[in-house]
Amino acid sequence: MVSTDLIRTIVGIIGNAISLGLFLSPVPTFITIWKKKDVEQFSPVTYLATFLNCMLWVLYGLPIVHPNSTLVLTINGTGVVIELVFISIFLLFSTGPKRLKVFLVFVGEVAFVGVFGALIISLLHTEGRRSTAVGVVCIVFCIMMYVAPLAVMKMVIQTKSVEYMPLYISVASFFNGVSWTIYALLRFDANILIPNGIGLVFSVAQLVLYAIYYKSTQRQLEARRKGEVGLTQVVVRGEANNKIGNGNETR
């Protein structure tokens, strides 16, 4: 008979693969930013929240805090590196107050986790106390990470457009929430279950919004495309008329 621990390990490995997909899901967005050399209306909140969340879970997964959490440690360590790349690109192509704000938040997050980790390790002398303290903070900030897209969801409702809420991120969030919720239930771990259960709910809400506003988004994009084509034709005709006018003047 297959043991619960083996099933949990398999689910954890699947969760790692899905989480990696979630961390990499914004790649198309950042390719767009890189090509246009502009962050446009894309929000940095999700990437900053994910970066902080990953750093805290790395702290939680350390053997001196919560032993036997290798799968938690590896995937979140990878997440830290990936989010660093995304935040660096965002800083490179944002300007003015937006760039300064992102930089200050980034520095504040690194300082917070460094000080928090040092205090936990130096003041709490048992693994149980350390894992409880770090776990509570992880729950709070993990929920904040999942709540971060609410700003984008609000914009979707106001504009009736999902242009700036990529589907692949919502889908990846959904499967990530499912896998880690199952992982936490197989050997009950409230610190993992609570935030991922909430994250699952938010990802379902995003998918529902996408289904509701997909058609209106397509109509807006089509209208914008036709407007740009119409404007181009006007400009071309204007240039042609100017050339004809100039030719008449020389006669």
Predicted local confidence at residue 2, as pLDDT:
67
Of residues 240 and 16, more confidence is placed in: 16
**What tens digit of pLDDT does each residue of 8-57 get?**
788 888 888 888 887 887 888 888 888 888 887 777 887 888 899 899 98
Between CA 198 and CA 207, with CA 204 as vertex, the angle to 5 degrees is 145
210, two tokens: 């996408």
Q: Which of 123, 144, 116 is nearest to 50 (CA)?
A: 144
Whether 64 contacts 118, CB under 8 Å: no
What's the rounded Cα separation, in Å, for the pair 185 and 163? 35
Measuring CA to CA, how many Å separate 81 from each of 19, 74, 102, 106, 222?
13, 11, 17, 13, 38
Predicted local confidence at residue 202, as pLDDT:
85
pTM summary value: 0.68
Kindly tell me the burial class for residue 87, based on how many C-beta atoms sit within 10 Å of its own C-beta (0-12, 13-18, 19 or more).
buried
Domain coordinates in residue numbering, the chain? 4-247
